Amino acid sequence: MDFRLTEEQQMVRETVRSFVKRELLPLEGEVLRNEREGKPGIERGQLRQLQLKAKELGFWGINTPEEYGGANLGPIMSAIVGIELAHTFVPFAFGGSADNILYYCNEEQKQRYLLPTISGERRSCFALTEPGAGSDAANIQMSAVKDGDHWVLNGEKVFITNGNEADFTMVFAVTDREKGAHGGVTCFLVDREMGWHSSYIPTMGEWGPASLYFENVRVPEKNILGELNQGFNLGMQWIGAGRWAIACRAIGAAERLLQMGIDYSKQRVTFGKPIADRQAIQWMLADSHVEIEATRWLALHAAWLAEEGEDTRHASSIAKLYGATMANRVVDRVLQIHGGMGYTKELPIERWYRELRLFRIFEGTDEIQHYIIARNLLRGHVRVEDGL
């Protein structure tokens, strides 16, 4: 068992770390100002420029196969990269990527959806959740009814990330009501021009998802992604891929926040001593570090399972549950360490405080992760004494 990063992994980590320091950290003030004026943190054009700079360093298509021009670094490298990028709240992601399920496109669909998404010409969104079906995704009601060589879609989706900006959506609808999620849901690729529209949902975070409305939207049969009635599995594949990645983002944010807590506690003097000398503060710092390190190994282990082609579901749920709650505990402690200053908008802590709260909700709430973990134990899918 070797816990050290390989030389290549260390090199990638250092390169991303210096990219974040050089290119992203200087933008933080501007991002905060923009967001507080209700504008996007960075404009699409600026994001594109940054992505092209990163491309020169080889960071393009982190998870994209080489045949599509990607670096295809694999899950462990992605985890390492994800942790580093999360050291800043600047809303940046490397370019050259597409949703994992878009690789189910057939040759003709690849030209219209997969390739333009990888190149950044088109933007996608993943639309599963509905007003009456979030955690209980199997209960979606959006209907798709066959009419000649088209399907007619009716219904509403909510909380769709990028739903207001996307050029097309991967939307899930019921094509066989009797079977429902067990062989009766289909995923459709639907261009905005086909007739769906969206509205922005303001949230406590700095950006908002969207509601998507479908009223008799006619979608050609050739726009089915994957196979008819096999869409629910695609939806679960999309969600499953994100869970340990959220734990990585939690680690990066918590590392940066903890460092802020360490620095501030050494300089803030009360009753004649730096607050860092007080046990109450030291325990908050120590607990935070313990929990960050615990999350690191949970997330890297889940990434390693993915790299080995093994089932990651149980490990991902553990990493996501622990990571999401850890980051919320850490940001709360660091805000506390900063006292009144932590509560102001002068510092970005309050921004993280609001953003990290989402980690406990999307891609499976805390309660759903608990449910999955307990179900696997109770049904004997996982044996406690075998570890992960």
Ligand X SMILES: Cc1cc2nc3c(=O)[nH]c(=O)nc-3n(C[C@H](O)[C@H](O)[C@H](O)COP(=O)(O)OP(=O)(O)OC[C@H]3O[C@@H](n4cnc5c(N)ncnc54)[C@H](O)[C@@H]3O)c2cc1C
Please choose, from the candidates 162, 158, 144, the residue with its C-alpha nearest in 3D space to the C-alpha of residue 219.
144
**Considering CB under 6 A, how many residues would be counted as binding ligand X?**
20
Compare residues 65 and 131 and give the one whose CB is closer to ligand X: 131
Q: Is 178 within 8 Å of 171 (Cβ atoms)? A: no
The verdict on 134 binding ligand X (CB under 6 A) reads yes
- Asked about 363 being catalytic, the answer comes back as yes
Please choose, from the candidates 140, 145, 179, the residue with its C-alpha nearest in 3D space to the C-alpha of residue 156.
140
For the bound state, the minimum distance from the C-beta of residue 169 to ligand X, rounded and expressed in Å, comes to 10
- Which residues are CB-contacts of 204 (< 8 A; sequence separation ≥ 6)? 354, 357
Span interacting with ligand X, options 34-42, 49-57, 101-109, 159-167, rule CB under 6 A: 159-167
CA atoms within 13 A on the CB side of 310: 11
Residue whose beta carbon is closest to ligand X = 134
The verdict on 102 binding ligand X (CB under 6 A) reads no
Residue carrying structure tokens 């209980």: 136
d(CA 83, CA 63): 15
Q: Which of 71, 128, 166, 234 binds ligand X (CB under 6 A)?
A: 128
Residue carrying structure tokens 């998507």: 212
Residue list 331-360, contact with ligand X (CB under 6 A): 358
For the bound state, the minimum distance from the C-beta of residue 142 to ligand X, rounded and expressed in Å, comes to 11
Q: Which of 104, 126, 196, 304 binds ligand X (CB under 6 A)?
A: 126
What pairing do the DSSP bridges indicate for beta strands 168-174 and 124-127? Answer: parallel
Distances (CA, A) of 174 to 119, 183, 286, 287, 322: 31, 9, 50, 47, 34
Span interacting with ligand X, options 47-55, 156-164, 330-338, 348-356, rule CB under 6 A: 156-164
Q: Is 127 within 8 Å of 234 (Cβ atoms)? A: no
The verdict on 161 binding ligand X (CB under 6 A) reads yes
Q: Which of 60, 89, 104, 159 binds ligand X (CB under 6 A)?
A: 159
**Dihedral (CA of 128, 132, 138, 142) sign:** negative
The verdict on 68 binding ligand X (CB under 6 A) reads no
For the bound state, the minimum distance from the C-beta of residue 182 to ligand X, rounded and expressed in Å, comes to 18
Q: Is 72 within 8 Å of 61 (Cβ atoms)? A: yes
Per annotation, catalytic residue among 165, 363, 367, 385: 363
For the bound state, the minimum distance from the C-beta of residue 67 to ligand X, rounded and expressed in Å, comes to 27
Q: Which of 79, 127, 171, 248 binds ligand X (CB under 6 A)?
A: 127
- Which residues are CB-contacts of 216 (< 8 A; sequence separation ≥ 6)? 152, 153, 154, 195
Span interacting with ligand X, options 24-32, 70-78, 153-161, 265-273, rule CB under 6 A: 153-161
The verdict on 203 binding ligand X (CB under 6 A) reads yes
Q: Which residues bind ligand X (CB under 6 A)?
A: 126-129, 134-136, 159-161, 203, 209, 358, 361-363, 365, 367-368, 371
Which residues are the active-site residues?
363
